[in-house]
Structure 1
Amino acid sequence: MITLQDLLIFAAASLLLVLTPGPNMIYLISRSICQGRKAGVISLVGVVAGFFVHLFAAAAGLTAVFLAVPMAYEVLKWAGALYLLWMAWQAIKPGARSPFEAQQLAPDSSRKLMLMGFLTSALNPKIAVFYLSVFPQFITPEHGSIFFQSIALGLTQISVSFTVNLLIALFAAGIASWFVNNPTWLAVQRYFMGFVLAALAVRLLSEPKRMV
């Protein structure tokens, strides 16, 4: 069973994931502003469905890898840290977009909204890499089934993402408008995320080697 401390840290990492610039966030905000809250919520249902594709693929894959390759944890540990550092750079690099800067989208039917939300999420490389590189840092074989630990982490990430994205979809217009009128906070938001992501990467690299 995953410890409460690790679960809370992972929930914080999931919160950073949902707030970092990426296809899901930009699509949901843009859709909500261009077509209304209902369209944003319908799109969110598709996005969440896409998360489950990543969840079960990662749970099955990590179980196989941990059992077959004892050194896999160390490899994924470094991959996860490098990925977090890359996300930190993406947040603070010159010309980086804030997820709260919307794009113009034409209206679509409910069916297409859900499909586009699903494809945006299922094909989002940021989510795939997060599941495969960050998940292992919170999994300890001594605590039981790797598969069920992965499921618990995935459901945590999905819950955090759904809650945050739902609030953003409902209040997207107001949030985007506020940031347009307060551009300094767009930079503050990006640099804060970059700092925390880099700190999490350092934490992962400082963890002692686990025996799997």
Structure 2
Amino acid sequence: MFGIENYLGFILAAILLNLTPGTDSMYIITRSVSQGNKAGLYSVLGIVTGILVHTVLAALGLSIILANSPLAFTIVKYIGASYLCYLGFKMLTSKSKSILSDSLPNNGKLVQAESLNYRRIYKQGVLTNTFNPKVALFFLAFFPQFVDSNYAHG
């Protein structure tokens, strides 16, 4: 079916892998808890966009460079780790309060949380996922198991 071997196995494996928490899940949960559901949603959209970047790179064969070049893998790994450290540092040193502490009663009205930059949250989600070399290597290891090698030839 469409060049895919064991389609049901692929669907089941993809569902199980998506339900397994990882760094992306922790990023989304942290954003949601500290900045609210809307920030969490924009984080999800950014992560999904990063996954689409990896999908395109894998389809074009560019992800194999990370698998075959220790230098390229190390560079991407350090860029990703540095970016995550930067985000963590920014969150720790940020002067803004969390949404939970900003939603205190004030004469019977709720105080509105300061406006969040959702474009920035989305962009951070994209970069967090795109610069995670483990995602690229996962795509290289996972998808070929389900591709019918005879499909392109016949």
Q: Which amino acid aligns with 1:114?
A: Y
Q: Which amino acid aligns with 1:143?
A: Y
Deviations 1:75-117 (A, max 9, x none): xxxxxxxxxxxxxxxxxxxxxxxxxxxxx87665212100111
Structure-2-length-normalised TM-score: 0.58
> Does residue 143 of the first structure (1) align with residue 154 of the second (2)?
no
Higher helix share: 1
Structure 1 residue 16, shift from structure 2 partner? 2.7
Do 1:50 and 1:122's aligned partners in 2 also have CA atoms closer than 8 Å? yes
- Give ranges in structure 2 of 5+ residues lacking alignment: 66-90, 99-115
- Give ranges in structure 1 of 5+ residues lacking alignment: 66-103, 146-212
Map 1:160-171 → 2, pairs under 5 A: none
> Aligned residues: percent identity?
41
Give the corresponding residue for 2:69.
Answer: none
Q: Which amino acid aligns with 2:29?
A: I
Distance in 1, Cα, partners of 2:128 & 2:12 = 23
Distance in 2, Cα, partners of 1:112 & 1:135 = 31
Distance in 1, Cα, partners of 2:146 & 2:42 = 32
Query: If you compute each CA radius of gyration, which structure gives the higher value, 1 or 2?
Result: 2
> Does residue 52 of the first structure (1) align with residue 36 of the second (2)?
no
Deviations 1:24-60 (A, max 9, x none): 1100111111111111111111111111111011111
Give the corresponding residue for 1:127.
Answer: 135
Distance in 2, Cα, partners of 1:15 & 1:127 = 16
